[in-house]
Structure 1
Amino acid sequence: MARFNALPRETAELTLHTCCRSHAWARRVAAHRPYPNLDALLAAADEAAYDLAPADITEALMGEKQSLPPSPAGYPAAALTALVAAHSAYETRFGHPFVICLDDIAPGEALDHLLAGLRTRLGHDPLHERELAAEELRRLARGRLARLTRRETGRETGINSPYVPV
């Protein structure tokens, strides 16, 4: 936490922007440094996420747009085809990429959870789905921040969490 707190403002904002792709969120979290511990940082990150304006949420959602790797974790081609089709339908319906935090999901269950989430959320009305997407962004940011601070202290053992940004 000490290294993060000591970063120049611009560097801290760039670092935070990798956790939540809203410039307003990154500026706000960086501005409230120093943080005494991870819990304080996560609380500030949550508060900043809850206060995002609609345009900031849109910016963060659009920043999550990524292409799928050719064959993550050896999943069958049919499952990946279904995933791409569901994601395309979601983006067409809601105007932004589908985001879901899978930090608490075992890697072998991630694709099933992702597909189930897409199927369920495709049935939501746009306002409800926007609220869910904003909550998933908040959860993603929390996990990324936790991993970022663990890497800083050398306690991170994996490269990333099992979540699948789509």
Structure 2
Amino acid sequence: MTRGPTLPAHRLPNLPNPLDAFNAAPADEARALLLHCLRSLRWSHRVADHRPYPDLDSLLAAADEAAYDLSPADMAEALAGESLPELPEDTYSAAHMALSAAQAAYEARFGHAFVIYLGDTHPDESLDRILEAIRSRLTNDPEEERVIAADELRRLARGRLGTYLRGAGQYRSAAPPRGATSPNAPAPGK
């Protein structure tokens, strides 16, 4: 049996991956994306100004390094950009009150929003983890808590940046993350 001529292989268009799009974006667009990950102008400028990054791991390492170098004023700026965590819609009102009261106590003690990176914590367990962490961290002295909050901010920025740039679409289509706890589910925010 003889076969006819074969058609040339179908080639998909060469679409840039999200990291390539980030590397090629104008500086102001890259900084805007970075500000959705961590609301520090110095951090966003530093990370954006060192583009291009050869791979996501290099970008995340640079983001970590820049976060470790935040001054107290930079950290205050980043913490001011964080908000109360979003709770699932079906969370009972007593949980909202407990979280609000714990957050108020934390802010009164430390002067900034409580931040925590929840990573892969199941949404049903988030409230308990947040309340447990706030109560535990309320016993810290201010310097110890500043170090912990800085680490949580770094982890949040890394998680949010990874979420944006591991996505299937272009980074510009991603909405800013909402709340201080969920890098895995960006939603429209402030």
- The TM-score, its normalising length taken from structure 2, stands at 0.78
Cα deviation digits, residues 29-52 of structure 1 (max 9, x gap): 001100111100000000000011
User: Counterparts of 1:131 and 1:67 in 2: how far apart (Å)?
Assistant: 20
1:105 aligned to which of 115, 121, 125:
121
User: Do the aligned partners of residues 43 and 37 (structure 1) sit closer, same or farther apart at CA in structure 2, a change above 3 Å counting?
Assistant: same
What residue in structure 2 maps to residue 2 of structure 1?
A: 20
C-alpha RMSD of the superposition = 2.4
1:13 aligned to which of 31, 47, 54:
31
1:132 aligned to which of 148, 168, 176:
148
What residue in structure 2 maps to residue 143 of structure 1?
A: 159
Cα distance, 1:11 vs. partner?
Answer: 1.1
- The TM-score, its normalising length taken from structure 1, stands at 0.89
Task: Give the 4+ runs in structure 1 shifted more than 2 A.
Answer: 66-69, 153-156, 159-165
Point out the structure with the larger helix share: 1
SS in 2 for 1:102: coil
Instruction: Please list every run of 5 or more consecutive structure 2 residues that lacks an aligned counterpart in the other structure.
Output: 1-18, 184-190
Cα distance, 1:161 vs. partner?
Answer: 9.6
Q: Determine what percentage of the aligned residue pairs are the same residue.
A: 54
User: Counterparts of 1:39 and 1:94 in 2: how far apart (Å)?
Assistant: 33
Cα distance, 1:81 vs. partner?
Answer: 0.6
Task: State yes or no: 1:72 paired with 2:88.
Answer: yes
What residue in structure 2 maps to residue 40 of structure 1?
A: 58
Instruction: Please list every run of 5 or more consecutive structure 1 residues that lacks an aligned counterpart in the other structure.
Output: none
Cα distance, 1:108 vs. partner?
Answer: 1.0
Larger radius of gyration: 2
User: Do the aligned partners of residues 88 and 161 (structure 1) sit closer, same or farther apart at CA in structure 2, a change above 3 Å counting?
Assistant: closer
Cα deviation digits, residues 33-76 of structure 1 (max 9, x gap): 00111100000000000011110000000011x3565x624122
Cα distance, 1:107 vs. partner?
Answer: 1.1
User: Do the aligned partners of residues 89 and 132 (structure 1) sit closer, same or farther apart at CA in structure 2, a change above 3 Å counting?
Assistant: same
Cα deviation digits, residues 120-157 of structure 1 (max 9, x gap): 01111000001100000000001100111022x3499x
